[in-house]
Chains A and B, each alone.
Chain A
Amino acid sequence: MLTLHENARISRRQLLSIGSLALGGLSLSSLLAAKASGATGSANDKSVIFIFQQGGPPQFETYDPKPNAPSDIRTVTGITQTTIPGVQFGDTLGRLARHADKLTIVRSFQTDNGGHNIRPLVGPESLNTNIGAIAARVLGSTHPTTGMPRNALLLPQSVCSDVAAGQGRGDLSATPAVGSNYAPFTPGGPGPLMRDLRLNLAPDHFADRRALLEQMDALSRQLGRDTQVQSADQYQRQAAEVLLSGRVAEALDLSREDPRLVSAYDTARYVASHNWSQVARGRQGMYTGQAKSLGKSLLLARRLCEAGCAFVTVHADYAGVWDFHADGNNLNVADGMEAVGRSFDHAVAAFIDDIEARGLQDRIMLVACGEMGRTPRINPRGGRDHWGKLAPLLIYGGNAARGRVVGQSTRDGGEPSGTPYNGRHLISTILHHLWDVPQVRLQPAFASVYRLAEVNPIPIG
Chain B
Amino acid sequence: MSRSILAALMSFVAVAPTLAGDPALRSLRIDTGRTKDGSLQLVGPNSWQQIVVMGETTDGKLRDLTRTAKLSASPENIVDIKSGGWIIPRGDGQTTLTATIAGKTASIKIHVAQMAAPPAVSFSNQVVPTLTKFGCNGGGCHGKSGGQKHFALSLFGFEPGEDFEYLVKEARGGRRILYSAPDSSLLLLKATGAMAHSGGARIDANSPHYRLLRGWIAQGTPGDSTKAPTVTRIEASPRSRTLDFAEEQQLLVVAHLSDGSTMDVTGLAQFEVNDRDVCEVATTGIVSAGRRAGAAAVMVRCQTHVDVVEIVVPLGKTIAKLPAATNFVDDLVFKKLKQLGLPPSELADDATYLRRVTIDIAGRLPTLEETKTFLADKDAHRHEKLVDRLLASPEYAYYFAGKWGAVLRNRRKDPKDETAPTFAFHKWIKTSLEMNKPFDHFAREILTATGKYTDTPPAVWYREVREVSALVEDSAQLFLGQRMVCARCHHHPYEKWSQEDYYGLAAFFTRLEVKDPPPPKKAKGAKDAPAKQMLEVLHKPGQAQAQNPRTRLNVAPTGLGGAVLKIAAEDDPRVKFVDWMTRPDNPYFARTLANRYWKHFLGRGLVEPEDDMRITNPPTNPELLDALAKHIVDTKFDLKQLIRTICTSTTYRLSAIPNAHNEDDRQNYSRFLPRRLFAEVLLDSVDDVTGSRTAFKGLPAGTRAIQLPDNQFDNYFLNVFGRPDSSSACECERSNDSSLVQWLHLLNSPDLQAKISKGRAAQLVKDKRSHQEKLNELYLLAYSRPIRAEESQKLQAYLERSANVQRAYEDVIWSLLNTKEFSFNH
B-contact bits for A147-158, CB 8 A (1 contact / 0 none): 100000000000
Q: Which B residues between 682 and 717 are near A, CB-CB below 8 angstroms?
A: 714-716
Q: Is B415 an interface residue (CB 8 A)?
A: yes
Answer whether residue A258 sits at the interface, using C-beta atoms and an 8 A cutoff.
no
Q: Which of A8, A128, A142 contacts B740 (CB 8 A)?
A: A142
Residues in B with CB closer than 8 Å to A229 are 674, 820, 824
Contact at A231–B741, with CB atoms within 8 Å?
no
Q: Are A19 and B744 in contact (CB under 8 A)?
A: no
Contacting residues of chain B (652-696) with chain A, CB-CB under 8 angstroms: 656-658, 663-664, 666, 673-676
* Residues 729-758 (chain B) with a chain A CB within 8 angstroms: 730, 732-733, 735-751, 753
The answer to whether B819 touches A444 (Cβ under 8 A) is no
| Total residues of chain A contacting the partner, CB 8 A | 73
Enumerate chain A residues within 8 angstroms of B818, measured Cβ to Cβ. 213, 217, 236
B821 sits at the interface (CB 8 A): yes
Within 198-237 of A, Cβ neighbours of B (below 8 Å) are at 199-201, 208-209, 212-213, 215-220, 222-229, 231-236
Assembled-state Cα–Cα distance A167/B540 (Å): 52
CB B737 to nearest CB in A, in angstroms, measures 5
Q: Is A2 an interface residue (CB 8 A)?
A: yes
**Cβ contact within 8 Å between A444 and B135:** no
Determine whether the beta carbon of A438 is less than 8 Å from that of B140: yes
B483 within 8 A of A: yes
- Tell me the minimal C-beta distance from A305 to chain B in angstroms: 18
Within 8 A of A (CB), among B230-277: 270, 272, 274
- Contact in complex: A448, B725 (CB < 8 Å): yes
On chain A, the residues within 8 Å of B824 by CB distance are: 219, 223, 228-229, 232
Contact B612 A16 (CB under 8 A): yes
Task: Give complex CA distance A25, B141 in Å.
Answer: 32
Contact A180 B714 (CB under 8 A): yes
Contact A444-B657, Cβ < 8 Å, known A181-B719, A213-B815: no
With the chains together, A197 CA to B736 CA distance in Å? Answer: 22
Closest A residue to B141 by beta carbon equals A6
Is A459 close to B, CB under 8 A? no
Is residue B727 within 8 Å, beta carbon to beta carbon, of the partner chain?
yes
- Report yes or no: B138 in contact with A239, Cβ–Cβ below 8 A: no
Alpha-carbon separation in the docked complex, A19 to B611 (Å): 13
| Interface of A, helix, strand, loop or mixed by DSSP | helix
- With known contacts A195-B749, A213-B819, A217-B820, A6–B140 Cβ distance under 8 A: yes
Are B735 and A5 neighbours in the complex by a CB distance under 8 Å? no
Q: Does A277 contact B (CB under 8 A)?
A: no
Give the distance in Å from the alpha carbon of A179 to the alpha carbon of B794 in the complex.
41
A234 to B746, CA, bound (A): 14
Q: Does A375 contact B (CB under 8 A)?
A: no
Quick check: is A176 within 8 A (CB to CB) of the other chain? yes
Contact B719 A180, beta carbon cutoff 8 Å: yes
Q: Complex: how many Å from CA A443 to CA B727?
A: 13
- A144 located at the interface, meaning its Cβ lies under 8 Å from any Cβ of chain B in the complex: yes
With A19-B737, A27-B739, A180-B716 known to touch, is A4 a contact of B270 (CB < 8 Å)? Answer: no
Minimal beta-carbon separation of A444 from chain B (angstroms): 4
Nearest A residue to B798, CB-CB: A212
B58 nearest CB across to chain A (Å): 37
Complex: A222 Cα to B820 Cα, angstroms? 11
For the complex formed, measure the closest distance between the CB of B607 and the CB atoms of chain A, giving whole angstroms. Answer: 12
Contacts of A213 in B (CB 8 A): 814-815, 818-819
Q: Is A80 an interface residue (CB 8 A)?
A: no
Q: Contact partner of A232 among B715, B794, B820, CB < 8 A?
A: B820
- A77: chain B residues at CB < 8 Å are none
Contacts of B451 in A (CB 8 A): none
Name the contact of B725 in the complex, choosing from A11, A27, A178 (C-beta under 8 A).
Answer: A178
In the complex, B59 has a CB within 8 A of chain A: no
Would you call A212 and B657 a contact (CB within 8 A)? Answer: no
A219 touching B819, Cβ below 8 Å: yes
For residue A16, which residues in chain B have a CB less than 8 angstroms away from its CB?
609, 612
- Of residues 155 through 211 on chain A, the ones whose CB sits less than 8 Å from some CB of chain B are 176-181, 192-193, 195-197, 199-201, 208-209
Contacts of A176 in B (CB 8 A): 413-415
Contacts of B274 in A (CB 8 A): 13
C-alpha gap A220/B815 in the complex (Å):
13
Nearest CB in chain B to that of A241: its residue: B740
Instruction: Please tell me if B199 contacts chain A, counting CB pairs below 8 Å.
Output: yes
Closest to B821 in A: A219
Q: How far is the CA of A215 from the CA of B787 in the complex (A)?
A: 14
User: Judging by beta carbons under 8 Å apart, are B819 and A217 in contact?
Assistant: yes
**Nearest-neighbor residue (CB-CB) of A448 within chain B:** B727
Residue of A nearest to B494 (CB): A12
B740 x A216 contact (CB < 8 A): no
Q: Point out the residues of chain A lying under 8 angstroms from B609, CB to CB.
A: 16-17, 19-20
A243 adjacent to chain B (CB < 8 Å): yes
Instruction: Select which of A220, A228, A238 is within 8 A of B819 by beta carbon.
Output: A220
Is B138's CB under 8 angstroms from A22's CB? no
Residues of B within 8 A of A209 (CB): 811, 814-815
B791 within 8 A of A: yes
CB-CB < 8 A to A195: which residues of B? 749-750
Please state if B740 and A242 are interface contacts (CB–CB under 8 Å).
yes
On chain A, the residues within 8 Å of B753 by CB distance are 200-201
Question: B823: CB under 8 A from chain A?
Answer: yes
Determine if A445 and B676 form an interchain contact, defined as CB atoms under 8 angstroms apart: no
B673 contacts which chain A residues (CB < 8 A)? Answer: 226, 228
**Within 8 Å of chain B (Cβ to Cβ): is A240?**
yes
Contact residues in A for B141 (Cβ distance below 8 Å):
5-6
Q: Considering only CB atoms, which chain B residue lies closest to A128 in the complex?
A: B414
Closest to A234 in B: B738
A442 to chain B, nearest CB (A): 10
Would you give the shortest CB distance from A35 to chain B, in whole angstroms? Answer: 13
**Looking at the complex, which one of A5, A13, A144, A180 makes contact with B139 (CB distance below 8 Å)?**
A5
Whether B749 contacts A212 by the Cβ 8 Å rule is no
B582 at the interface (CB under 8 A from A): no
A contact residues around B666 at 8 Å (CB): 227
Task: Report if A392 contacts B (CB, 8 A).
Answer: no
Contact call B811/A239, Cβ cutoff below 8 A: no
- Is there an interface contact between B749 and A19, defined as CB atoms closer than 8 Å? no
Within 8 A of B (CB), among A377-401: none
Pick from B135, B732, B740, B823: contact of A6, CB under 8 Å:
B135
Closest B residue, CB atoms, query A140: B739
In the assembly, what is the distance between CA of A123 and CA of B411, in Å? 20
B738 touching A25 by the CB < 8 A rule?
Answer: yes
Residues of B contacting A7 in the complex (Cβ-Cβ under 8 angstroms): 140
Answer whether residue B816 sits at the interface, using C-beta atoms and an 8 A cutoff. yes
Q: What's the minimum C-beta distance from B791 to chain A, rounded to whole angstroms?
A: 7
Q: How far is the CA of A27 from the CA of B745 in the complex (A)?
A: 19
In the complex, are the beta carbons of B725 and A19 less than 8 A apart? no
Q: Is B534 close to A, CB under 8 A? A: no
Contacts of B736 in A (CB 8 A): 228
- Residue numbers in A under 8 Å from B604 (CB-CB): 20
A454 to chain B minimum Cβ distance, whole angstroms, is 12
Q: Is B608 an interface residue (CB 8 A)?
A: yes
Contact of A181 among B272, B494, B720 (CB under 8 A): B720
Interface CB pairs A-B, < 8 A, 23: A3-B135, A20-B604, A141-B741, A179-B714, A180-B716, A192-B749, A193-B744, A196-B748, A196-B749, A199-B748, A209-B811, A213-B815, A216-B791, A217-B818, A219-B826, A223-B674, A226-B656, A228-B673, A231-B738, A238-B743, A239-B740, A239-B748, A447-B730
Q: A1-B272, A22-B738, A226-B663 are in contact. List 13 more A-B contacts (CB 8 A).
A: A5-B138, A141-B741, A176-B413, A192-B745, A208-B811, A228-B824, A229-B820, A231-B738, A235-B740, A236-B747, A447-B728, A447-B730, A448-B728
Which A residues have a C-beta under 8 Å from some C-beta of B? Answer: 1-8, 11-13, 16-17, 19-20, 22, 25, 27, 128, 140-142, 144, 147, 176-181, 192-193, 195-197, 199-201, 208-209, 212-213, 215-220, 222-229, 231-236, 238-240, 242-243, 438, 443-445, 447-448
Which residues of B approach A to under 8 Å, CB–CB?
135, 138-141, 144, 199, 270, 272, 274, 413-415, 483, 494, 604, 608-609, 612, 656-658, 663-664, 666, 673-676, 714-716, 719-720, 723, 725, 727-728, 730, 732-733, 735-751, 753, 791, 794-795, 798, 811-812, 814-816, 818-821, 823-824, 826
